[in-house]
Amino acid sequence: MNVTSLSSPRKRGSSFFSGEHDTRQLDSRFRGNDRSEDLALYVHWPFCVSKCPYCDFNSHVRESIDQAAWREALLQDLAHEAALLPGRRLTSIFFGGGTPSLMEPATAAALIDAAAGHWQVAGDVEVTLEANPSSVEAARFADLAAAGVNRVSLGLQSLDDQALAFLGRAHDVDEGLAALATAQRVFGRVSFDLIYALPGQSAAAWEEELRRALSFGTDHLSLYQLTIEPGTRFAALAAKGELPETDPDFAAELFELTAAITADAGLPRYEVSNHARPSQESRHNLTYWRMCDYAGVGPGAHGRRCGSATQRHRKPENWMGALARNGHGIVEERALTAQERAVEALLMGLRLREGVDLADISGRTALPIPAFLDEPAVDRLADRGLLRRDQARLAVTPEGLLLLDSILAEIVRA
């Protein structure tokens, strides 16, 4: 999300660090020294029916897809990663996109089975699939659950038909809610996305929409402010003055309102844009934010493997060609320096309510804390109530989250 300038801090009505929302209640299974054996798997399905005007993800529209060929290609890419990561324990699988609910359930089943053959699988492994709420895709939910998917992330994006049309979505509210009801019957865990701070949206309208969303009883919500990303159709419209951007002060008001309402409903924010009941956080995404290892396969997928960064070819045809030549889809692979790993741990971890363990980062990188953190700057910002430091743990306060980009620029030694 975009945040306001550090020169204009704002107050928030409730604290992440008080009462029942204490950071110690966050899932602790990814903490501790044994996490070095844990692994997450990301599988990218790059195809969509159409390209949304706000989307800058690696998604592509094709007239036809050879599902069998794609299944075999993804299995081959997965086998390459598995050979380089023997003896690991798989804690989560995430099918992202694109629109993974366009994938045949047999493909999801084959990949889940293959992963279980490559690695030891945690007894409570989380298997998430992103889905669009069309009736065609919802009809596959039961088969996807039978394939091993136990959590779905549904792209509702709005509970207003006019907003859905503005966002270029193919579904309407009724179809979206029908898909949500199906997902809640089929999957053990359900999350859905909403986009707010749309042009012309009032605080009262967003509050009404958010309270309605909370009434559906899911244990996780991803709530994103609309941002104009380079290279998107919305960016072109904004450049021509045909799409107004949300006023930063109003965006901050909506951000605070969102935090207060979700906390009161028992789904406090645990990351900048993600809200969940205790123990219902996305375990897969926590792997990213806590800088643990994850294998990424499929077009454009990124990975972190034993201190190295990997990236696959983005264009589906280029990825397929690389597989045929090399047996994998990697376009870039390089060892990260200790400084890069420490900086990345800060940039990712400070998005979380729980913050980061500085001693852990130091231990994992063999760098002293002052090598990657400007401690005098931390002290200054802590005095202003924007950061909280408790011995080796550093976190951004609710007030500081509004200024996250500026705070990171001040305290991180790149």
- CATH numbers and ranges of domains, the chain: 36-289 (3.20.20.70), 338-411 (1.10.10.920)
pLDDT value of position 57: 83
Q: CB neighbours of 405 closer than 8 A, spacing ≥ 6? A: 2, 3
Q: Are 97 and 314 in contact (CB under 8 A)?
A: no
pLDDT value of position 110: 98
**Whole-model pTM above 0.75?**
yes
pLDDT value of position 36: 66
pLDDT value of position 19: 27
pLDDT value of position 273: 98
pLDDT value of position 9: 26
pLDDT value of position 136: 76
What's the pLDDT tens digit per position in 138-158? 899 999 999 999 999 999 999
Low-confidence ranges of the chain (pLDDT < 50): 1-34
What's the pLDDT tens digit per position in 300-345? 999 999 999 999 999 999 999 999 999 999 999 999 999 999 999 9
Buried-state track 342-351, b at ≥16 Cβ within 10 A, e below 16: bbbbbbebbb
